[in-house]
Amino acid sequence: MTPLNLLRDNWIPARQNGKVVTIRPCQIVEPGMTELAWPRPDFNLACLEFLIGLVSMACPPKDDADWQSRLEHPEAEQLHERFAPFAEHFNLGGNGPRFLQDLEAFERETKPSGIKPVDMLFIDSAGRSTVVKNADLMVKRNRFSSLKPAEAAMALYTLQAFAPSGGAGNRTSMRGGGPMTTLVKPLGVQPEEGPLWRLVFSNVLPGSPLAAAHAPTALPWLRPTRTSERNKVVTRNSTHRLEVFFGMPRRLRLVFEGDLVKGVVQRPHGTNYSSWEHPLTPYYRRSEKESEWLPVHPNAGRLSYRNWIGTTITGQDVAGTHRIAETVRAYGNRPSAPDCELLIGGWAMNNMKPRDFTLDTYPRFPSLDEEEEDRVRSLVDAANATAGAIRKALRAGCRFDGNILDSIVEAFFAETESDFVNSVRGLAKGGSIEVEEDWYRIMRNFSMRMYDEHALSSLTDHDIAGIEKRVEAKRKLHWALAKQVRKKLNLPSPAKKGRQK
């Protein structure tokens, strides 16, 4: 069997001119190449990270001028030539070093009972404890008896890049379990202009290419694993910066039978990464006094605009508590960069348990100055206060349980998202206090309508006590909006406003 080579062979499914084709990484520059076409969204996101890592390794732009030129006029032959010296390091199988696998071939001495099913490569597969307890309701067991090499390669990269907690000694990814990825996605790109290339290259930072002779410094499968026994860690200062795209927190070896991958062997104590900042992930810290920046992790469902600050919106917050991804910051600093949106995704995890995978597009806003960002925060604070007031009113008036209230709050944020986007764009254009007044009216009208819809739908004519509770709860909701929400927006209360007249 000839092992799959991830740089020489065609193995990545992509959509070109409306048809699904299988390509080599260097073919992403071809006209009509619009998007990846893996059957799983987490594979599509991870494969984009892999391609960004390859370009960052072999042929990053020299500077912003070079970036702009190559974004618009990529050269397929140049990409092929730059990848070629690294091809020998990207074999999935064989006797030499294997892509993203431990250098030690410990699968050869492993008994059949120690070989795990290929299912373990998938984050949403059931772990051993889950199977034993018969608790695999949201995750699945025994879905695959084998994998084709291309599927195994992508599953392997996805697990290493997003690895959740995996039991004693099995490390999470260098961004923790289920990190959030934010990618710049240029708008208005026609198919013939190569949308896939522009998506990948828009997220590559300027730098110097890695010399092929120095590949072992950045590709950890070319050297003995830096294990994590005795609490040993690998920091950004102790290895090459490009390892951020090729980290190996898990010690794994694939088991081949003929042309198929039939199993996986895992050993504990893979590399424990510490104090890294991944260029595709936003970060936060709990307070300005803390020095450690932590990667953002997605929640289940669509990312609500209450979580956009530090993810899609930023101003002068570099020294504050939120920091958007480095690639998003760099793109925003390029004056000639095309308009864009953000592709945001990741696994929502509850420790070792996957809850949801999200992959969606979100608007990106121009850089805001300090005053404009403060005003955006007030819009978000007002929305949070409004959502809290709706929740409190419906709990008091209707005694809804927490699950119902959670769904109502999520509906509130989803249905007011477009109004929020328009409000932020108004602020970015230098809008007056009328932006806040309009936002308040939207919050007030929407919350009153939402309260009436839910409070009156379950009411009967004979429920006098229920009517009184609902009327009183609505009165308090109106008061909270007029006082608390207006205060969040730095608007005078209605009473004060009247006296000023």
The answer to whether the Cα torsion of 442, 448, 454, 456 is positive or negative is negative
Q: What gap in Å lies between CA 283 and CA 293, rounded to an integer? A: 6
- The H-assigned helical ranges of 18-127 are 41-58, 64-72, 76-83
**What's at 476, amino acid-wise?**
K
- Ranges of the chain with pLDDT below 70: 1, 126-142, 315-319, 458-464, 495-501
Q: What gap in Å lies between CA 460 and CA 469, rounded to an integer? A: 13
Q: What gap in Å lies between CA 308 and CA 314, rounded to an integer? A: 9
Q: What pLDDT, on the 0 to 100 scale, is given for residue 10? A: 98
Strand partners, 353: 350
Q: What gap in Å lies between CA 271 and CA 225, rounded to an integer? A: 7
Residues 55 and 204 sit within 8 Å (Cβ to Cβ): yes
Which residues 6+ apart lie within 8 Å of 405 measured at CB?
391, 394, 395
Residues 448 and 352 sit within 8 Å (Cβ to Cβ): no
Q: What gap in Å lies between CA 169 and CA 428, rounded to an integer? A: 48
Coil, strand, or helix at residue 87?
Answer: helix
How far from 347 is each of 50, 61, 161, 247, CA to CA, in Å? 17, 30, 11, 18
Please classify residue 485 by burial: count the beta carbons closer than 10 Å to its beta carbon, then call 0-12 exposed, 13-18 middle and 19+ buried: buried
Q: How many separate helices (H) and strands (E) can be counted in the chain?
A: 15, 11
Residues 358 and 464 sit within 8 Å (Cβ to Cβ): no
Residues 47 and 36 sit within 8 Å (Cβ to Cβ): yes
Can you say whether residue 94 is alpha, beta or left, with left for phi > 0 and alpha for psi between -120 and 50 degrees?
left
Q: What pLDDT, on the 0 to 100 scale, is given for residue 7? A: 98
Q: What pLDDT, on the 0 to 100 scale, is given for residue 129? A: 45
Which residues 6+ apart lie within 8 Å of 111 measured at CB?
none
pTM over 0.75: yes
Please classify residue 181 by burial: count the beta carbons closer than 10 Å to its beta carbon, then call 0-12 exposed, 13-18 middle and 19+ buried: buried
Coil, strand, or helix at residue 407?
Answer: helix
Coil, strand, or helix at residue 170?
Answer: coil
Residues 282 and 324 sit within 8 Å (Cβ to Cβ): yes
pLDDT digits (tens, 9 = 90+) for 31-43: 999 999 999 999 9
